[in-house]
Every structure is written in structure tokens, then in C-alpha cells.
Chains A and B, each alone.
Chain A
Amino acid sequence: MYKNEQIFDLTIVGGGPTGLFTAFYGGMRQCKVKIIESLPQLGGQLAALYPEKFIYDIAGYPKVRAKEMISALKEQAFQFNPTVCLEERVQHIKKLDDHFEMITDKGIHFSKAIILTAGVGAFEATRLEHPKAATFEGKNLHYFVDDMNKFANQKVVVIGGGDSAVDWALMLESIAEEVHIIHRRDKFRAHEHSVENLRNSNVNMLTPYEVKDLIGSERIEKLVISNSKTQEEKIIDVDAVIVNFGFKSSLGPIKEWGLEIQKGSIVVNSKMETTIPGIYAAGDITTYPGKVKLIAVGFGEAPTAVNNAKAYIDPEAKLQPGHSSSMNLETANLTTTS
């Protein structure tokens, strides 16, 4: 458990599109901003569930691929160097005299105001169901691939049949010593084009197979797999195992924080204030009469939440920030020091 004594102005819970735009806007309003995200990556559903899908209803973009939208949002938000804490889930929030204490599964954070942009709740990768799986997690059992190069010259097994599993297997082909992909069915769910590339690659396709056992003490050394139809078993030597079974989301502890919740969403007023002063919300997690759950709407709620939170933190601050076109951000010192 680590403790970061520094008190941030705004802590944003959830690093999806609305969270990233909230971080940008908070930076623009000279707030010291922190983002806490449950996954090892930013981007929310856009990055985790449908990076390749086109989005057509973002103002100014006739169409934009989800992963490109996220990359642009990150670039925009990072201009102000927000602190980003990945793979952390906020468990409890406690109101102290003039700020909040936020306890995550890894540490303690302090913030003058909080903006919840957690969408449908924290995402978590679906785990491999095996009693020994948890002991190898963080060693050579992975649920995410951030840096392909760490698999250089290794024997890698990818498990799963969707787009991410197939894409990772194909990307690893030129880096790893050997790549196997295991799927419990003969049919892959991934795009036909990717599956065709897979068939034409040197990736060893093992279907229909399921993992039966993980052998090794400190790390997984061998995988025992069994054919789903014939029960025939095979043993594969491995250096690394990557599992991609998709994600599950849940609102989890947010329900216990004393906020008013209707049908899994947090009730806010026109200032994006929740029922707890100092805690604001924006994006898909909010509800109010006439609420529409779209990214475009989250982008509108973000400045409302930030400007009202800014006025809450500093009653002298203006609610109306002025227009960004008049702020000369190009020459401003873009690191927040307040």
C-alpha cells in the first residue's frame, strides 16, 4: 500500500474518452489532475472492446476509428502532464476537512474534488479458470500486452479466439521464437481477414483445444492442453502465456459510497454534482432526466463538471472559463504546478 501525500485538485476515476477529456479540461483550467484507471491502459471501452470500430458522431470528425480517437484524446490530455495511475481500483472515498481521501486496492490518494467518469464501472480482464492461474499472474501469465518486445525470442502461447488474440499472435510472429494460438473451437471470432492472415502465418494454430494444466513452480514452464472433441492431450513448452478472453465490467464499490444511484447510473444535477458535495460525475455513468449516453454527451458534461469543481475548490475562480481560442495555449507553460 503506497501513500501519495500530495493533494491533487481533481482526481478523475476512469480513463475512458470522457475521463481523458476531463483531464485535458482540468489541465486547461490549471488544476493539478490525476487519473485513476482500473485497466493497464487508458481508453475505456474504445480501447478494450472495439478499437477498430468507426465512430461517426463525434463533432468535427465525419468518422474516426476508436483507437485513433483515444490516441488523439491522450495527446490532448497529456499536454498538461496529468498523473496517471493504471491498474488501480478505487475502493473507498472518505471526506476529510477540505479534501477527500481515496483508498484504492494499491494505495491512498488525496484530492480536493473528484470527478467520476467510470462509464459502466471498472473493467477487468476475464481470467483463465485454473486454480494455479493466479500464482503465475504478473510473472509469465499475461492478460495484456503493452510491449511486444519483451517476448523477443520466447516461446509464446496466446489463448483466445477473438480479434485481440489473433492480432497479438500475428504481431508476435516476427518477434517471438515461436507462437502458438489455442482456441477451444475450430472457428475464430476474429475478422475473416485476420484469420486468413493467421492461416498463412507461421503461428501454430491449436484448435479445438482447452488448457488443462499449468506446470511450473515459479513460472509456467509447460502447458497441458486437451482436444475438446477427442480429449487427446498435448504438452507445450512455454516461456510466456497470454490470455485474451475479453473483459467484464462492474460498478463494484462505487455503489457503496453513498451516492444516489438509479439503474446503475449516478444521479447528477445540471452542474454535474452528485449528492456528495465535491464529487462530480460525467459521461455514461451519469443520469438525469433526458440523459443520452453518448461520447459526444460525455464531452459536453466534462467541462461542466470541471468548471463547477474548480469553483467548488476555489470559490474565487470563475465558473465561466473564457474560450480556449483566447488562451494562447501554444505558448503557455503546459505543466501544472499549482
Chain B
Amino acid sequence: MAKYTMIDKETCIACGACGAAAPDIYDYDDEGIAFVKLDDNEGVVEVPEMLHEDMIDAFEGCPTDSIKVAEEPFDGDANKFE
């Protein structure tokens, strides 16, 4: 099943947990706020299957539930499926 991911930058607190869990998916901007580096946080590029476990680790570990994961593209809107 295809997976897409996106960070809600409004609620991210720059704690650094996601980059530790899934460094190939998440990176931080100049303020430490996380973003998805696969597609500049648009949530439109499918996450490679070999990274799914890392992504789930990051998703479950995010203290503010700012990491979004869905089976369809987000098209730039982190709250599209909320």
C-alpha cells in the first residue's frame, strides 16, 4: 500500500525525534522545524517501502502528533485527512 507523509509545521515543536527515527525521510529547517525531505513537505511523493518502518517509528514517537501519514497524497495540506 502506498504511503505518503507530511509534517504539520504549525504544531511541530522542533524536538528532533523524527529525524533520529527516520533520517532518510525527515529533516529540519533553519528553525529546527521538521519537514519531509522527499518532496519539500508537500506530501505528494510516495515513501519507499523500505522506509515504512522508520516512518512508523517517527509517527508514533512524535510528541505532538505533528507527523501525518496517509495512503493518498496530501497535496500540501497536512490536515487534509483530519
Q: Which residues on A are within 8 Å of B, measured CB to CB? A: 45, 49-50, 53, 120, 123, 126, 161-163, 185, 189, 245-249, 263-264, 284
Q: Mark B1-43, 1 if CB is under 8 A from A, else 0.
A: 0000000001101011100110000000000000000000000
Q: Tell me how far the C-beta of B6 lies from the nearest C-beta in chain A, rounded to whole angstroms.
A: 18
Q: Is B63 an interface residue (CB 8 A)?
A: yes
- Chain A residues whose C-beta falls within 8 Å of the C-beta of B49 in the assembled complex: none
Q: Report which residue of B15, B16, B20, B60 has the largest number of chain A beta carbons within 10 angstroms of its beta carbon.
A: B15
Q: Could you tell me how many residues of chain B have their Cβ less than 8 Å away from some Cβ of chain A?
A: 15
22 residue pairs A–B, Cβ–Cβ below 8 Å: A45-B15, A49-B15, A49-B16, A49-B17, A50-B15, A120-B13, A120-B63, A120-B64, A162-B61, A163-B20, A245-B60, A245-B61, A246-B17, A246-B61, A246-B63, A247-B63, A248-B64, A248-B65, A249-B63, A249-B64, A263-B10, A264-B11
Looking at chain A's contact residues, the main secondary structure is loop
Contact A53 B63 (CB under 8 A): no
Give the distance in Å from the alpha carbon of A246 to the alpha carbon of B63 in the complex.
Answer: 7
Contact A189 B63 (CB under 8 A): no
Within 8 A of A (CB), among B44-61: 53, 57, 60-61
Contact A53 B16 (CB under 8 A): yes
Contact B63 A50 (CB under 8 A): no
Give the distance in Å from the alpha carbon of A120 to the alpha carbon of B63 in the complex.
Answer: 10
Contact B16 A50 (CB under 8 A): yes
Contact A189 B21 (CB under 8 A): yes
